[in-house]
Amino acid sequence: MKTSPARAFTLLELLIVISIIAILAGVAFPMMQGATNQAKRVHAAKECQNLVQAIGLYKNEYNVMPLRSAGTGSESQIFQSDASFMNILLGEDEELNRREKSFFQTNEAKKNRKGLDKQGNLWDPWGEYYQIEIDADYNGIVTGPPGAEGEIRADAAVWSYGKPKRNGQRAEYKDWVKSWE
């Protein structure tokens, strides 16, 4: 009975296979990065809409906007989604939310990104606060963030600055995630 010699891969065959895998990984990686950034933008847009809705629910419940200094007569006021503002919507601020009713829910933040941390700060997917502008004179118009063209017909506008540039500066206005677009 004859046995056939063991068949093994040559070094050249192994190098070719490794090269093909490396090329495929090099092509797939940028596509995965783009998909990840798009998923972050979708999440941020959803949170912007949820914040606008929570502010509207608060207004319907109390017939006022969630403002610390009511009756200032200014057109609109800008806040960040830090704990001092979010605790009003979360029912943690007994002074401005007497019924301690929660108007907003989201996921818990991981490493101060994409969600609500234990202190009540709401973070966007890039680790920044959301920006919130509220109509303080109750005319249904907010002036919009710096760079916006014209007024925004809404009781509230919310935006995220989006993915920062490589040098750490804010993205351009056109790349922000906005509740009114």
- The residue extents of the domains of the chain are 20-178
Provide the residue-wise pLDDT of the chain in tens; the chain has 181 residues: 666 666 778 888 889 999 999 988 888 877 777 788 899 999 999 999 999 999 999 999 999 999 877 555 567 888 999 999 999 999 999 999 999 999 999 989 888 888 899 999 999 999 999 999 999 988 999 988 877 888 899 999 999 999 988 888 888 889 999 999 8
Could you tell me the pTM of the whole model? Answer: 0.81
Instruction: Give me the long-range contacts of 43-48 (CB less than 8 A, separation at least 24).
Output: 43/114, 43/125, 44/124, 44/125, 44/130, 44/160, 44/162, 44/177, 45/177, 45/179, 47/106, 47/122, 47/124, 47/130, 47/158, 47/160, 48/130, 48/158, 48/159, 48/160, 48/177, 48/178, 48/179
